[in-house]
Amino acid sequence: MPVISLQNLKKSYALGDNTVHALRGVSLDIEEGEFVAITGPSGSGKSTMMHILGCLDRPTEGHYLLGGEDVSNLSRDALADIRNRQIGFVFQGFNLLPRTTAVENVEVPLLYSRPLLPAAERRQRALEALDSLGLSQRADHHPSQLSGGQQQRVAIARALVNKPSLILADEPTGNLDTKTSIEVMRLLQNLRESLGITIVLITHEPEIAAYGTRIIAVRDGEIVSDVANTPTPMEHVEEDQEQSEPALAAANA
Amino acid sequence: MLINLHTATRALRQNRLQAALTLCGMSIGVAMVVIVSGLGRGAQLQIESQIESAGPTLISVRSGNFSTAAVTGNGEQDSSGGEVSQGPVDPFGLQTDPISDAAPVTPVTVRKTRHRSPAWPLTQAEVDAIASQVEDVRSVAASVAGNVSLDEQPQLRIRVARVHGFQTDWEVMSGWKVLRGRMVTAQEHAAGTPVMLVSPAVAQRLWPDQDPLLQQLSFAGQDVAVVGVVDIEDESSSIVVPTVHVPMTLAQQLLDGQSFDEINVRSRSVATTSGVAQAIRRVLREQRQLADDTFDDFRVTTQSTSSMPSLGTDPRLSRAVHANLVELEKVSWEEMAASLRQAGRTFTLLLTGAAAVSLLVGGIGVMNIMLVSVVARTREIGLRLALGARMQDIMLQFIAEAVTLAVAGGCLGLVLGYLGLLVAQQSFHWAAVLEPAMVMAALVMAMLTGIVFGYGPARRAARLDPVVALKAE
């Protein structure tokens, strides 16, 4: 059973007197463990697709099955619960709460989990998530005290803390330099390999899309190509990360 | 909730100046509430105390019963001197009473009864019985008096003094005022410390042109020092035998006896005085195990009955007036009290209006900063929604912030209000009272203001579209 199944999905907005058709009938299945890169120029509808995939928005027509459940017509609060339990978001601008420590940022999704975990357990899980991304030393740092790469890793830790089945990354490297971008992409690749998490990545950069196992191109609200891809190899990831880690630490010191 | 509180304080710290200004606005509202309720309560208490102090609330109990025929407020037979009459009393000597329909006079039937002789003295057991068994009693105190020989003192020309022993509260009930020195303390009452009070007249007579506070008298080898000069109305001190006032325990020791001459009882209010007097009579009869056909061997007098003339009046008229006077007096006092209370309520109502307006202004301030906060933090709200916050989570977060702000302002307002009350009390001599319940009420009001005025902005935040909110700058 596919993790994600879009069936003739349409989305239109009223913009003034005109109706904008952002999605014009998209059908798509994504299997568990896939790393799908969705590419397309701005205005192609890829952002709308991301919003619907992320249960932030509802389609005008068609069906969206997430883990076999039709979520197309759920209430706001029901969608909030699905986002909380099943989807981890990684945003372009990191979207970390300012003046809030890394570990507290990672804890935020746990605050909205039902049933609510005890404070000690929330802290424990947040620290574990940070630790798995090599950030345990930075747990008490505020976002302003972290480098861009570190901030994005905190954001990824936040996306992982509730053990979701799907990670949605919306231009995760948009605010990062090339070197850090590669780092973050390898991290995502690594998550897929080790945890088997399905990842959907939205990007307009072909080099970033190349890290996926499948590349889908969207244009004018329709899928124009859907090809399997041999992801950019991860071979030298380990050494590179080892190199960058002290370098970042030094830069921050 | 704690998480929300944490988030709220952090959010407020990010917006220090605005938060501080709102806090000020809020605190003024709450300060007004505190001042208003403090002044209102003060005025109310003052009115009550005026009502009470104005009305006859003093009841006196004496041993023995030598009074002429009298009846209680209920028309019950009280303590008759043996006079027997049949049927209703007609105060005007008319067979047909023209006003009897409008104001019926209680019929009185006096049975033939007997005296117990000699009368029993009053004791501490009876004081205790009155204090514990009679309702609406504010205070009870006994007194005793007797002549005691003085030890020879060269400068004194007198040999005997009248020692008046009194219990705690007696001086309050009798309206004694300290002119110099101090009252006898509760500890001294309990211990029977050899201290005494004198009136200025007695002091002048005993120690002319000397400081009375440095003087003492010696009774059977015991020195009793003067600790205070008090203004005592209608003191029955003779020229020959001056009166000194000492703690009861000391007086009993000097007089070598345990009994009392008189017990004074202060009822809680005018309206209850006659009821208390009747209850005292019942309790004392029980205490003394008087049979139904035996007269009281004590006398219970209220100020109203004692002020009635008893000589030169037709005894039947006197009895009839006595029978109705207490009730009449009670009614007129209650009317006066009601109109005074009404005036107090109006005063409080006016002030409450002013307080409500300032609280409203404070609340609008809270609403304003919350609306600003929602706009400034749209992106954060979008993020929280994306991470799984339900609408109620966002609502709670912002209401918690508004309530935190309002309650913090409320605490500041309590301090300001307290200072305001102090100023009102010290500078304007207004009666002001601050009770814990009022402090709680003011805080609850602040909290409610936070909830009411935080609701709108919080709802606005919670209803944001996550997609739109996430894109916000």
Tell me, yes or no, whether A42 lies in a domain: no
Distances (CA, A) of B239 to B160, B161, B202, B204, B235: 11, 10, 8, 11, 12
Are the C-beta atoms of B264 and B60 separated by less than 8 Å? yes
Query: Which amino acid, residue B131?
Result: A
A-chain residues near B387 (CB < 8 A): 83-84, 89, 108-109, 112, 158
Of the candidate ranges B125-129, B195-199, B231-235, the one whose mean pLDDT is the lowest: B231-235
A-chain residues near B5 (CB < 8 A): none
| Residue B157 Ramachandran class (φ > 0 left, ψ -120 to 50 alpha, else beta) | alpha
Query: Which amino acid, residue B191?
Result: A
Is the previous residue joined to A2 through a cis bond, with omega within 30 degrees of 0? no
Say which of B383, B388, B393 has its CB closest to residue A95: B383
3-state secondary structure of B165: strand
What's the mean per-residue pLDDT of chain B? 79
Q: How far apart are CA B318 and CA B330, in angstroms?
A: 18
Locate the chain A residue with the closest alpha carbon to B381: A97
A-chain residues near B10 (CB < 8 A): 99-100
| A91 Cβ under 8 Å from any chain B Cβ | yes
A-chain residues near B14 (CB < 8 A): 98-99
Distances (CA, A) of A31 to A107, A169, A214, A244, B69: 29, 17, 11, 33, 111
Contact B391 A77 (CB under 8 A): yes
3-state secondary structure of B358: helix
The phi and psi torsions of B133 (rounded to 5 degrees) equal -100, -20
Q: How far apart are CA B409 and CA A54, in angstroms?
A: 41
| A57 Cβ under 8 Å from any chain B Cβ | yes
Nearest chain A CA: its distance from B457 CA (Å): 19
A-chain residues near B470 (CB < 8 A): 56, 91, 95
Mean pLDDT of B424-440: 84
Question: CA B351: distance to chain centroid?
Answer: 24
Torsion angle, alpha carbons of B181, B187, B190, B194, to 10: -40
pLDDT tens for each residue of A153-171: 999 999 999 999 999 999 9
Tell me, yes or no, whether A205 lies in a domain: no
Contact B386 A81 (CB under 8 A): no
- Match 């409500």 to its residue by tokens: B356
Contact B386 A54 (CB under 8 A): yes
Query: Is the per-residue pLDDT at B20 higher than 50?
Result: yes
Tell me, yes or no, whether A248 lies in a domain: yes
Q: How many CB atoms lie within 10 A of CB A105?
A: 26
Q: How far apart are CA A207 and CA A219, in angstroms?
A: 18
| A68 Cβ under 8 Å from any chain B Cβ | no
Q: Which residue has the higher pLDDT, A91 or B48?
A: A91
- For chain B, what are the domain ranges? 2-51+336-471, 137-263
Residue A140 pLDDT class (50, 70, 90 cuts)? very high
Contact B387 A91 (CB under 8 A): no
Nearest chain B CA: its distance from A235 CA (Å): 33
Torsion angle, alpha carbons of B167, B168, B174, B180, to 10: 110
pLDDT of residue B323: 62
3-state secondary structure of B153: coil
Q: Which of A67-81, B7-21, B35-49 has the highest mean pLDDT?
A: A67-81
Locate the chain B residue with the closest alpha carbon to A109: B387
Contact B386 A56 (CB under 8 A): yes
Strand stretches in B131-255, DSSP E: 137-149, 160-166, 177-181, 195-198, 216-219, 222-231, 243-247
B-chain residues near A80 (CB < 8 A): 385, 388-391
Of the candidate ranges B27-41, B79-93, B428-442, the one whose mean pLDDT is the lowest: B79-93
Q: How far apart are CA A143 and CA B293, in angstroms?
A: 96
Query: Is the per-residue pLDDT at B11 higher than 80?
Result: no
Contact A80 B380 (CB under 8 A): no
Are the C-beta atoms of B302 and B326 separated by less than 8 Å? yes
Residue B87 pLDDT class (50, 70, 90 cuts)? very low
Tell me, yes or no, whether A44 lies in a domain: no
Domain of A89, in residue numbers: 4-36+52-196+214-252
Say which of B14, B391, B466 has its CB closest to residue A56: B466
| A97 Cβ under 8 Å from any chain B Cβ | yes
Residue A60 pLDDT class (50, 70, 90 cuts)? very high
Q: How far apart are CA B33 and CA B26, in angstroms?
A: 11
| A54 Cβ under 8 Å from any chain B Cβ | yes
pLDDT tens for each residue of B338-351: 787 788 788 778 88
Q: In this prediction, what percent of chain A has a pLDDT beyond 70? A: 92
Q: How far apart are CA B325 and CA A39, in angstroms?
A: 102
User: Radius of gyration over alpha carbons of chain B, in Å?
Assistant: 34
Q: Which of A78-92, B110-124, B230-244 has the highest mean pLDDT?
A: A78-92
B-chain residues near A113 (CB < 8 A): 388
Q: Enumerate residues 6+ apart whose C-beta is below 8 A from B452.
A: B363
Are the C-beta atoms of B228 and B197 separated by less than 8 Å? yes
Tell me the CATH number at A10: 3.40.50.300
Say which of A51, A80, A99 has its CB closest to residue B388: A80
Q: How far apart are CA B242 and CA B219, in angstroms?
A: 14
Rounded to the nearest 10 degrees, what angle do helices B391-428 and B16-54 cross at? 50
Contact B386 A83 (CB under 8 A): yes
Chain B residues with at least one Cβ partner in A under 8 Å = 3, 10, 13-14, 379-380, 383-393, 466-467, 470
Tell me, yes or no, whether A225 lies in a domain: yes
Nearest chain B CA: its distance from A239 CA (Å): 33
Tell me, yes or no, whether A247 lies in a domain: yes
Say which of A57, A80, A162 has its CB closest to residue B390: A80
Residue among B5, B64, B92 at smallest CA distance from B405: B5
Query: Which amino acid, residue B355?
Result: A
Say which of B387, B391, B392 has its CB closest to residue A108: B387
Tell me, yes or no, whether A208 lies in a domain: no
A-chain residues near B383 (CB < 8 A): 91, 95, 97, 108
3-state secondary structure of B328: helix
B-chain residues near A84 (CB < 8 A): 387-388
- Count up the domains in chain A and report the number: 1
